[in-house]
Amino acid sequence: MAILTDDNYVDKAENVIKSLNHTKDHRNNKIRFFLTTTKIRNLLNLTSNLFDESKVREYKELADKIAYLRVQFVYQSGRETAVKDLVKKAEILDILKEINNKESLQRFCRYMEALVAYFRFYGGKD
């Protein structure tokens, strides 16, 4: 069974963000994530162009870019432990391996958008 479905990707994104490593600021009781908005938006930017291309190109033309996207996520994870925490908890590498058509690619891109949205909602900042 696929990790992401049209029915679960939004809830999954929310649960992932809630589970990220963070501290609590005891002065104002706010959550402070170790991951920054800049880092998570950089990950979203990696997927945005692919989403746009998926609207006008065939899946076969995008397969190589999807594989390269995996490499980029691995690289970013190696550079920053907070990114690695997100990539693991969000199962991004496994989801990328499951992409096999335009629909699953676009669902993944929407999942990335949902991750950023919930990150901001729950107080993610630089």
Q: What digits encode the pLDDT tens for the residues 3-16?
A: 999 999 999 999 99
What mean pLDDT comes out for the span 39-45?
92
pLDDT value of residue 83: 95
pLDDT value of residue 17: 95
pLDDT range class, residue 123, cuts 50, 70, 90 = confident
Rounded to 10°, the helix 102-121/9-19 angle is: 40
C-alpha distances in angstroms, 107 versus 18, 24, 25, 75, 126? 21, 32, 34, 23, 27
Measured CA to CA, the distance from residue 111 to residue 93 in angstroms comes to: 13
Q: 66 with 99: CB under 8 angstroms?
A: yes
pLDDT range class, residue 28, cuts 50, 70, 90 = confident
Residues across the chain:
126
- Domain ranges across the chain: 8-122
CA atoms within 13 A on the CB side of 52: 5
pTM (global) more than 0.75: yes
Q: What digits encode the pLDDT tens for the residues 94-119?
A: 999 999 999 999 999 999 999 999 99
